[in-house]
Amino acid sequence: MVRRVSVPLLLLLVGAAGATACGEHGEERGRQLYALHGCAACHGPDGRGDGPSARRLDVPPSDLTDVRTYKRGSSPNDIALSIQKGSGAMPAFRDITDAEAGDIAAWIVSRQRDSRSPGGQP
């Protein structure tokens, strides 16, 4: 005998599994988008503010791994907003979609270290 599973329960289970996969996928996609949109040129491949263009800038790019350097906040939403609207000397990237900014922000947050611990690593 085949037992029927309710549709809402099935959707809940599929959604929960997908949310975990999307979170991990979002960070990887964010890493790729970070490189694709040229963020590494200033912020460096790991977000430490040491990109090849960093030395030529009047205002050094932020070390994105250090939460103390964030002007608008270090949450994923704050970072996505900074990407799209700009922050300080960083220009706005208006061509980046909300989803892309969210994925880039997720990757950046995964790189953050605990600024309270000396030499803390992401």
Write the CATH number for 60.
1.10.760.10
pTM: 0.74
Split into its structural domains, the chain has a count of 1
In a domain? residue 71: yes
In a domain? residue 120: no
Query: Under DSSP, is residue 66 helix (H, G, I), strand (E, B) or coil?
Result: strand
In a domain? residue 57: yes
In tens, the pLDDT along 62-108 reads: 999 999 999 899 999 999 999 999 999 999 999 999 999 999 999 99
The residues that bridge with 87 in the sheet, in sequence order, are 90
Tokens of 30: 């964010």
Domain containing residue 63: 7-111
In tens, the pLDDT along 24-63 reads: 688 999 999 999 999 999 999 999 999 999 999 999 999 9
